[in-house]
Amino acid sequence: MSQPQSTLPVADAAEVRAYARRLVLLHPRQLAASLLLYSLAAAAGLVAPWMLGDLVQDAGRHAGTAATAGAVICAAVAAQALLERYATVTSTRLSEKIVARLREDFVRKVLELPLTTVERAGSGDLVARTTRDIDVLSRTVQLAAPDTLIALCTILLTLGAIALAGPLLLLPSLVAVPVLWASTRWYLRRARPGYLRASASYSRLTEGLTETVDGARTVEALGIAKRRLARTDRDIAESYAAERHTLWLRSVYLPFADTAYMLPVAATLVVGGLFYVDGAVSLGAATAATLYVQQIIGPVDRLLFWMDELQVGGASLARILGVGQALPDRHTEAGQDAVHTPAGQGIEVRGVHYAYREGHDILRDVNLVIRPGERLAIVGPSGAGKSTLGRLLAGIHTPRTGSVTVGGVPLDALPLPELRRQVALVSQEHHVFRGTLRDNLLIARPEAADDELEKALKTIDAWEWASALGLDTEVGSGAARLSPAQAQQLALARLVLADPHTLVLDEATAQLDPRTARHLERSLAAVLEGRTVIAIAHRLHTAHDADRVVVLDDGRITEAGPHRELIGRGGPYAALWESWHGPDEGPAVRTGGT
């Protein structure tokens, strides 16, 4: 699992094997049924060469034999076709079930991904894994895996039939084994890293393209189109090289494989002939064995063909399983000595350093004690680290060193639901989930009764429209549409339900819809009432109205105190105030957001 830090982890071969085994054995009865049907079909396929061998043996002796043999062969072929049909139906059903399970597992893993990991790895890698790798793996499970099983069954049964015709006749088939073994081993050793490299190169390509498209305006504004193009060209070149490498591997391997399975046919014919001359085997047995060896080429070929596909699928599975292996950014796993309960509501930041990328500290030695019920404003120039500090205070990021505690317990030691009862970040995110209005509210507190929902909606003055709509009305995409203001109120109602004692309000991301601002402003004020509020202040009057102002500059706290005191002190805050505020007292002056 040792991966460069910038991409999501990749599972190792043993983990992939263990997971694949678990998947395959998920429905043992269906697996057994399809294996049985395929084996019967393969057995029916063995009848014809046997009868032909008999015919050669008895040539010219009994007139009736040929007609009987013909009838038996026809019946066997028909039976084989019918059995194969049912076997295919059974195994396809099984594959679909397995693919469904795979997708469910994957979605769950993606949803559980630590936020920090996603931010660090970039969305391109995740997008590539969600699309390309899942598609590749679906194809592997739907086509490659069942066909491999069929081929294996057929090969084993055919070898059994040869042994039945005469154990000695198995010997010439063995000439293929060393060639196949050596060349397949050579290939498999190189194929896994080769295909992993190809997949990773696709990830980088997707990521680069996604980034360029997402940031098209910025790319244009900065005039870096050439640089972006050059990056895309480099990524394509890398993909090309990776594809060429795997192509080269196949071009070396496949000729050896081709030779390897023509050898036994010739060998059986020659050796069978010699044995017959020696009287060691009958003519019929030698004939049947040669036909069987010929017949085995098909399944062996398919087996080797799919081996390649299985390799690609294995590489994709490794990447998909890797998503579940991202290290948690919280320390609340089982095995902790005790569940800590915060003693009090005070939040303390002690000696905190934080970096998004190693070696680039965004916050440096931040110390801050927030009293319960306090209104704190964090101000500072754009890029000073205000939003970052806000996310640390809300427990979204975990400090690199130092600690952020509530009531003495580190935020990252609290289970998520518990954390959300302590601190919440008020953001612009007001997604309406597909479901009833009630479902949308219960996300915040699943056990809340209807009268609590009503109370929450009343608090933010949304009960009127909500009761008119009805709690059981379906909302979200494709159902009743809520206005942006209603969606925002829904988000605020969730906060009231979750009832954290502290709110982190990032003004850059929690701006209210200006068309309905006044109404929402009142709703928001109702939510803030009685709670500790940490405002990431991008607007001046927020700082002015706060109990205490903290000035952040280049990741350090340079000043802290009430507005008046700081103005009186004539330090950095007074200078900021002067420059923001200017001669007129317009409250809409902004300090530059993110």
Nearer to ligand ADP, 383 or 407 (CB): 383
Among 104, 112, 119, 233, binds ligand ADP (CB under 6 A): 119
**Least Cβ distance, residue 381 to ligand ADP (angstroms):** 7
510 neighbors 480 (Cβ within 8 angstroms): no
Distance in Å, CB of 537 to ligand ADP, minimum: 10
* Local structure of 557: helix, strand or coil: strand
Write down the least CB distance from residue 107 to ligand ADP, Å. 24
Contact 311, 195 (CB under 8 A): yes
Instruction: Please state the three-class secondary structure of 393-451 as a single string.
Output: HCCCCCCCEEEEEECCEEHHHCCHHHHHHHEEEECCCCCCCCEEHHHHHHCCCCCCCHH
Number of alpha carbons in the 13 Å side-chain half-sphere of residue 420: 12
3-state SS string for 281-292: CCHHHHHHHHHH
Q: How far is the CB of 147 from ligand ADP (least distance, A)?
A: 45
Q: Tell me the residue type at 122.
A: G
Q: Smallest gap, in angstroms, from Cβ of residue 401 to ligand ADP?
A: 17
> Which two tokens mark 509?
């991301």
Restricting to residues 535-594, name those near ligand ADP by CB under 6 A: 594
Taking the complex as a whole, the smallest distance from the CB of residue 366 to ligand ADP amounts, in Å, to 12
**How would you label 451-478 residue by residue, b for 16+ Cβ within 10 Å and e otherwise?**
ebbeebbbbbebbeebeeeebeeebbee
CB of 380 to ligand ADP, least distance (A): 6
Contact call for residues 490 and 476 (beta carbons, < 8 A): no
Nearer Cβ to ligand ADP (239/387): 387
173-179's contacts with Cβ under 8 Å and 24+ in sequence apart are 173/264, 173/267, 173/268, 173/293, 173/296, 174/264, 175/263, 175/264, 175/267, 176/260, 176/261, 176/263, 176/264, 179/256, 179/259, 179/260, 179/263
DSSP code, position 473: S
Query: What letter represents residue 91's amino acid?
Result: S
Q: Which is nearer to ligand ADP, 291 or 508 (CB)?
A: 508
Output the smallest distance, CB 194 to ligand ADP, in A: 32
Binding mask 334-353 for ligand ADP (x = CB under 6 A): --------------------
Which position among 181, 240, 248, 356 is part of the footprint of ligand ADP (CB under 6 A)? Answer: 356
Closest contact distance (angstroms) between CB of 385 and ligand ADP is: 4
Instruction: For Cα atoms 295, 301, 303, give the angle at the middle one, nearest 5 degrees.
Output: 110
- Report the first-to-last Cα separation within the chain, whole angstroms: 35
Q: Are 389 and 508 in contact (CB under 8 A)?
A: no
Q: Which pair of tokens denotes residue 369?
A: 């004690």
For ligand ADP, which is the closer residue by CB, 370 or 396? 396
Least CB distance to ligand ADP at residue 441 (A): 30
**SS3 of residue 478 by DSSP:** coil
Residue 515 or 590 with smaller CB distance to ligand ADP: 590
Nearer to ligand ADP, 199 or 591 (CB): 591
| 131 touching ligand ADP, by CB under 6 A | no
Q: Closest CB to ligand ADP among 388 and 542? A: 388
Q: What is the CA radius of gyration of the chain?
A: 35
* Size of interface with ligand ADP, in residues (CB under 6 A): 12
Q: Which of 330, 314, 316, 319 has its CA nearest to residue 112?
A: 330
If you ran DSSP here, which 8-state letter would residue 161 be given? Answer: H
Residues numbered 13-72 forming contacts with ligand ADP, rule: CB under 6 A: none
Min CB(238)–ligand ADP separation in Å: 24
Q: Least distance (Å) from ligand ADP to the CB of residue 185?
A: 44
For ligand ADP, give the closer residue by CB, 43 or 508: 508
Bridge partners of 550, per DSSP, are 378, 560
Residue closer to ligand ADP by CB (options 382, 483) is 382
Minimal distance, residue 524 CB to ligand ADP, in Å: 20
Task: Give the nearer residue to ligand ADP in terms of CB position, either 319 or 386.
Answer: 386
Nearest of 384, 329, 377 to residue 362 by alpha carbon: 384
Per-position x/- string for 463-502, each x denoting binding to ligand ADP as judged by CB under 6 A, each - no binding: ----------------------------------------
x/- map, 357-396, ligand ADP, by CB under 6 A: -----x-----------------x-xxxxxxx--------
Task: Specify the residue, 9 or 380, whose C-beta has the smaller distance to ligand ADP.
Answer: 380
Question: CA–CA separation, 415 vs 327, rounded Å?
Answer: 16
> Among residues 187 and 354, whose Cβ is nearest to ligand ADP?
354
Decide whether 382 or 579 has the Cβ nearer to ligand ADP. 382
Sites of contact with ligand ADP (CB under 6 A): 119, 356, 362, 380, 382-388, 594
